[in-house]
Structure formats: C-alpha cells, structure tokens
Structure 1
Amino acid sequence: MKNKVVIVTGGASGIGEATAVLFAREGASVVVSDIQEEKGKKVVQQIVAAGGKASFFMADVSVAEENEALVNFAVKTYGKLDVAVNNAGIGGEGNKIADMSLEGWHKVISVNLDSLFYGMKYQIAAMKKNGAGSIVNISSILGSVGFLGSAAYVAAKHGALGITKTAALEYSSENIRINAVGPAFIDTPLLDRLDDELKQKLISMHPIGRFGKSEEVAEIILWLGSDKASFATGAYYPIDGGYLAN
C-alpha cells in the first residue's frame, strides 16, 4: 500500500481501527474518520507512534456534505484518494417490525445505507481523477440472511450488497473496483451491550466456536483494497466462521 491514500470511516474502534492500523502498517497514508473524535485521534496517535502516516477527520457519514468534506480533506492533505473503506455503522433498535419506532428505522438506514451512497458519490468522483481506485463496503452476514429484531439493520446490509454490485457495474470500465465484505459477529464494542447468555448463544451459531476478531476482517479488506485483488469487483466476501454454512 505504499504511496496509497486510504479513507476508513468508523475508524475509531473495532473493525475500522484494525483496518486503519493495518493499512498504515503496509505503507498507506490513512484518513481515520469517525464521530468519536477522542478515540479517532488516539488511533491516529497509535499509527504515527508506529511510524505510519495518518490524520483524523470527524464526519457523520449519514450527512452527504460531511462525506464530501471528508473526501476533500483526504485529497487536500495527501493529494489523491486510492482506497475507501466504508465501515461506519450502528446496530440500532432491537425490536420486531411492528414495535420498531420510525426514528429507529430511519436512523439505521441513514447511518448504514444512505452513507454508502453519499460516500461513494464523492469517493468515486475523486478516484476517477486518478484513473483507478478501490472501494470496500462493509456489509454483514445479515446482508444475505435475516435476523430477529433487526429489520432495519438487515435491510440496510442487504441494500449494501445491491448498491455495491451496481456501483461495480457502473465503474469497472474506469478501473474502479467496488466490493463488499460480510463479517459475522465480531468481538467489537457493538457487542458490549449484550449479556453473557446471549453472547454464548451467538457464539454457538458460528461453527468455528468463537466470535471473529477485527484484525481478521481487516486482512480481507486490505487484500480487496490492494492491487493483488485486481480482478475482484462486484463481489461479496463473507468472513463468518462458518455462520452462513449452517
């Protein structure tokens, strides 16, 4: 990733943090973006302390203008944009459809799905100026199956696959590759609100017998962002400990 410029949204913790650190370790200049400013800046400090290049930019990905500002910051700071990892997301309200609030539905769709359209709209425009680029959208195993009490999240993650495939078709001829990654349940702060009994139940749904690690997901994101994945576009890559094989 030497001489590559990368944006990672939701980069303050979990998969985003692991991805930002890994890209920087491989030589990229990384823009870490999140709404959590203090945590995001700590990730940047971690990267810089290890000899890498990184900057923080606070952005709410559910707002179109903030996605545009994020891309403009990356280009202004490092001169271009090569890779974008659209990772920011929330779990949201855990109710059945009839009991879900309208606010809860719209918030999850906005943060998890609208953000992909906003992000790619400006990321692709910047990449076209380079004549190449790679975008990795973080979907989920729930991009291909359902899950009780998570209608908005499931709908958004299914939508992530649809917009990824369409974008790949639209921009393959311009050497911009766009793929989606589908993690299973990963040991990140999103799981902190679950009690131990539910965690054990979820672990049992993964044949490998544990939750995934952020670093494991980061490795496949790195590959997709790199030139080693030059023939990969429009695809969905589950990394799920066997979850979808059940």
Structure 2
Amino acid sequence: MDDLTGRVALVTGAAQGIGHAVATALADAGAAVTATDVRDQSDLGDHIRTRSHDVTDAAQWTAVVDEIEAEHGRLDILVNNAGVSGYDHLHELSLKEWHRIVGVNQTGVLLGMRQALRLMRPQRSGAIVNIASICGAASVAGVAAYHASKHAVLTMTKNAAVSYAREGIRANAVLPGWIRTPLTVGQTDELNAAFLDATPMGTGGEPTDIADAVCFLVSDRARFVTGVDLPVDGGYLAR
C-alpha cells in the first residue's frame, strides 16, 4: 500500500460506491481525508471527516476548502468523484436534464479544481484525480449528456496537467468501466449485459479497483505521471 501519511485529501461523492472506496483507501494509507456528498456518509467511520456538499454550488466549495485550510493549512489530494448519470438520447434530452448532468459531472469538477488550486499553487505541490468514465472516450447509444460531461472531464484534466505542471501539481483522470456500484446495479439488466459482453475480461470491476488506481496516481510512485487518462475497465477501451 502507498504511504500517504501526512497528506491531506478531499474526496467528493463519497457516500457510496467508488467515492466511498477511494475515501476509505486514502485514509487507510494514512491521509487525513475529508469526504463530501449530498447523501449520508455516517458509515465511513470516525477517522474520516464528512461534510454535506453540493458540488454544483461554488459557495459550498469555498466553504469546504476553507475548512480544510483552517484545520490543516494545506490540501495535497483532490479526487473529483461526484457524478450523476442519465440515459436520454439527444432527441429526447431536456435542457433541464442537460444542466443537471453537466452541472455535477463537469461544472463540479471545474469548481473543485479551482478551489484546490487555490491551496496547491502556493504550496507548489498537489495531485488531482478526476473520475471520468469509459463513456468519455467511447460512444454508447443514448447517454448524450453523460457522454459530453465525461469527455469534457478528460480535456479539463489534460488542461490542468499542462497548465500547472511547472508548479508541482499533477492532474490525471481515471476511466472506470463497468464497476459494481449502486448506480450500475440500478441500471437495466439489458444495459449491464451489453457493457459486460463488450468487456474483454467478461466481468465487471469493484470500487476497490478504482481506489487502487487513485492511490497510485496520488502517491510519490506516480511523481512523473500527469495528464494521463487511465482506463480501469477490463479491457473495454482496448477493443
């Protein structure tokens, strides 16, 4: 396990699934973790600070990062994990649904990176990991707004990587394939079967698979890794 003792981390969307696994893994590796979500996070345990947080709200981002600065004086790790899905085709996609998905998946990432950089730039160090999706790099019928938002996350991550590399800040994206979470379990059997049938390994992953990738990317072992789109997808994007 990577040793993250002394690092200060912020993980969004941590109430369940991937975010829960990431927050737990970072804390187990020694980081001081603040986990946020709009849902209850009481099962994360006393060793992780939790906070209610709507990632589409700029003022709430400021408040969360201000609290971290007041307590720790720094922020070393940001994991933008909070996300929502949507299954509408372009011809049936409402503007309201577009704004809902883009607001969380894309604008939330923008606000998070902007606030993290406020602390990371003066300290001239930091690691940002944005959780994207295989749907940011490959097309699936429907899910138009989700596609757009996750593709944007990839380009935003690369922009941050090249913009702040000389300031000691790294930014990378992780692209989960089919991962067993409440979100995917709640999808239709047909949709899940289609994803799994198209996965060369023939099976889905677990949230801990994503957490392991994140722990590597924020660790010193990845000190020369930035601007990377890392698929954790059982080979889905290699087809």
Structure 2-normalised TM-score? 0.95
Letter in 2 for 1:76: A
> 8 Å contact 1:177–1:234 — kept in the other structure?
yes
The residue number in structure 1 matching 2:5 is 2
> 8 Å contact 1:68–1:119 — kept in the other structure?
no
Q: Does 1:147 align with 2:140?
A: yes
The residue number in structure 1 matching 2:67 is 73
Deviation at 1:195, TM superposition (A): 3.0
Structure 1-normalised TM-score? 0.93
Q: Does 1:11 align with 2:14?
A: yes
Unaligned 5+ segments in structure 2 are none
Q: Distance in 2 between matches of 1:102 and 1:135?
A: 30
Identity %, equivalent residues: 39
Letter in 2 for 1:120: M
Q: Distance in 2 between matches of 1:72 and 1:26?
A: 24
Deviation at 1:68, TM superposition (A): 1.5
Alignment of 1:78-117 (within 5 A): 78-92=72-86, 94-117=87-110
Letter in 1 for 2:125: A
Q: Distance in 2 between matches of 1:63 and 1:198?
A: 32
Q: Give the counterpart of 1:183 among 155, 176, 184.
A: 176
Deviation at 1:106, TM superposition (A): 0.9
Deviation at 1:3, TM superposition (A): 0.6
Q: Please state whether the residue corresponding to 1:135 is helix, strand or coil.
A: strand
Q: Distance in 2 between matches of 1:134 and 1:79?
A: 16
The residue number in structure 1 matching 2:42 is 41
Alignment of 1:196-215 (within 5 A): 196-215=189-208
Q: Distance in 2 between matches of 1:153 and 1:200?
A: 19
The residue number in structure 2 matching 1:129 is 122
**Root-mean-square deviation over aligned CA pairs:** 1.1
234-243 or 62-71, which deviates more:
62-71
Go from structure 1 to structure 2 and tell me whether the alpha carbon gap of 1:199 and 1:5 turns closer, same or farther (over 3 Å shift).
Answer: same
Q: Does 1:160 align with 2:153?
A: yes
The Cα offsets for residues 106-148 of structure 1, whole Å up to 9 and x where unpaired, read as: 1100100011111111101111232200000011111111111
The Cα offsets for residues 24-76 of structure 1, whole Å up to 9 and x where unpaired, read as: 1110110010000x2x1221x1xx3xxxx320111100111111111112222
75-84 or 137-146, which deviates more:
75-84
Deviation at 1:205, TM superposition (A): 1.2
Q: Please state whether the residue corresponding to 2:79 is helix, strand or coil.
A: strand
Unaligned 5+ segments in structure 1 are none
Q: Distance in 2 between matches of 1:84 and 1:6?
A: 6
The residue number in structure 1 matching 2:221 is 228
> 8 Å contact 1:33–1:56 — kept in the other structure?
yes
> 8 Å contact 1:14–1:188 — kept in the other structure?
yes
The residue number in structure 1 matching 2:52 is 58
Letter in 1 for 2:228: A
